Amino acid sequence: MSQTSFDASARLLEQVNDALARREPLHIQGGGSKANLGRAVTGELLETREHRGIVTYDPTELVVTVRAGTPLTELEQALDEQGQLLACEPPHLGSNATVGGMVAAGLSGPRRPWAGSVRDFVLGTRVITGGGKHLRFGGEVMKNVAGYDLSRLMAGSFGCLGVLTEISLKVLPKPRAVANLRLALDVTEALRQLAEWGQQPLPISAACHDGEFLHLRLEGGEGSVAAARDRLGCEPVEPGFWEDLKEQRLPFFSDSRPLWRISLPNDTPALDLSGAQLVDWGGAQRWLKSGACAEEIRAVVSRNGGHATCFDSCDRPFQPLPAALLRYHRQLKAQLDPQGIFNPGRMYAEV
């Protein structure tokens, strides 16, 4: 169980209802570890960190329910003690990361293409809505689908749709065997090899090209991992690379130029953009350090069927939405937050 447990939902609900009565916006924040992602929000600060603790955890059912302000490290420690983990491998990006912030940001680590995203592991939520109600959506088992899609919709919403107070998550057992490997290949050959290996039953759970080496992580049963390691013939390395990649501690990220996260079809060749590139997720996610303007970066990415997000100060950090999709975002915001008080403009100035 978490070291500290406290239910502050009544205080959070009171603050929301007070803001609704005054028609004043709220800046919802957990640990603030991902505050640099998204547009600046003006409003009264609503902090969730006081509302913390693991509510229920049944390792045999692979389900945990936790309050939003719980430090992510505390949840991961509790799971580790039971030989389990958050398979989406969410980044902390700071010592104060909370479980609510993990869901609100919706960021996933190197295992994401093989195990799933944060959204895929959300079973249910409790949310304070823009109507001043504290409601429960979804449940604590995968087959409970009542309100399930709405719970998953909170993942990646950056607090724009409501105040997350509680989340039920599916967890998985830790793999029995792990091997960390690297192979000296240029990026073009690495992408070709990854496309080929993707058609084969190899237990790959992470793949990244750092500009010099192709790094691979194998996870699964001892026999399958050993067989794949022998077949690939890569050099074994220490496991710290994946944690440094997830937490953006690799030398690549120390470059002073703006950081861009680019999502692409995984067989896309190296992009013709100035700056340094790092290929993650077997080619589906690219990190870019570049001084190029946002319009140029997004034009190149769009031509390749992808989208780009700026992780540094930027007036439009997220990919601009087509008119039809923007209309749906506005309609959703109007339904769940009719007065527009929750993190207004955090993702898009128009929402």
Amino acid code (one letter) for 92: H
* 182 pLDDT more than 50: yes
As a whole number of angstroms, the longest Cα–Cα distance in the chain is 66
- Percentage of residues in the chain having pLDDT higher than 70: 96
Across residues 183-195, what is the average pLDDT?
A: 95
Range scoring the smallest mean pLDDT among 1-5, 112-116, 234-238, 330-334: 1-5
Task: Give which of 159, 134, 135 is closest to 27, Cα–Cα.
Answer: 159
Pick the CATH number of 9-173+331-336 from 3.40.50.1010, 3.40.50.300, 3.30.465.10, 3.30.1490.20: 3.30.465.10
For residue 229, the Cα-to-chain-centroid distance in whole angstroms is 29
Question: Which three-class secondary structure string do you get for the chain?
Answer: CCCCCECCHHHHHHHHHHHHHHCCCEEEECCCCCCCCCCCCCCEEEECCCCECEEEEEHHHCEEEEECCCEHHHHHHHHHHCCEECCCCCCCCCCCCEHHHHHHHCCCCCCHHHHCCHHHHEEEEEEECCCCCEEEEECCCCCCCCCHHHHHHCCCCCCCCCEEEEEEEECEECCCEEEEEEEECCHHHHHHHHHHHCCCCCCEEEEEECCCEEEEEEEECHHHHHHHHHHHCCEECCCHHHHHHHCCCCHHHHCCCCEEEEECCCCCCCCCCCCEEEEEHHHCEEEEECCCCHHHHHHHHHHCCCEEEECCCCCCCCCCCCHHHHHHHHHHHHHHCCCCCECCCCCCCCC
pLDDT of amino acid 142 = 47
pLDDT of amino acid 313 = 77
pLDDT of amino acid 144 = 46
**First-to-final CA distance of the chain:** 38
Rounded Cα–Cα distance for residues 185 and 209 (Å): 9
* 203 pLDDT more than 60: yes
For the chain, give every domain's residue range.
9-173+331-336, 177-310
- Percentage of residues in the chain having pLDDT higher than 90: 91
- Provide φ and ψ at 334, rounded to 5°: -65, -35
pLDDT of amino acid 140 = 64
Rounded Cα–Cα distance for residues 127 and 135 (Å): 5
The pLDDT tens digits of the residues spanning 259-289 come to: 999 999 998 999 999 999 999 999 999 999 9
* 227 pLDDT more than 90: yes
The pLDDT tens digits of the residues spanning 124-160 come to: 999 999 999 999 988 765 444 444 478 889 999 999 9
Q: b/e per residue, 14-32, with b = 16+ CB within 10 A?
A: ebbeebbeeeebbbbbbbe
Angle of CA points 143, 144, 146, to nearest 5°:
140
pLDDT of amino acid 138 = 82
* 220 pLDDT more than 70: yes
* 1 pLDDT more than 70: no
For the chain, give the mean pLDDT.
94
Provide the pLDDT confidence category of residue 4 given band limits of 50, 70 and 90. Answer: confident
The pLDDT tens digits of the residues spanning 41-78 come to: 999 999 999 999 999 999 999 999 999 999 999 999 99
Across residues 228-237, what is the average pLDDT?
A: 93
pLDDT of amino acid 148 = 43
Question: Which residues partner with 276 through β-bridges?
Answer: 289
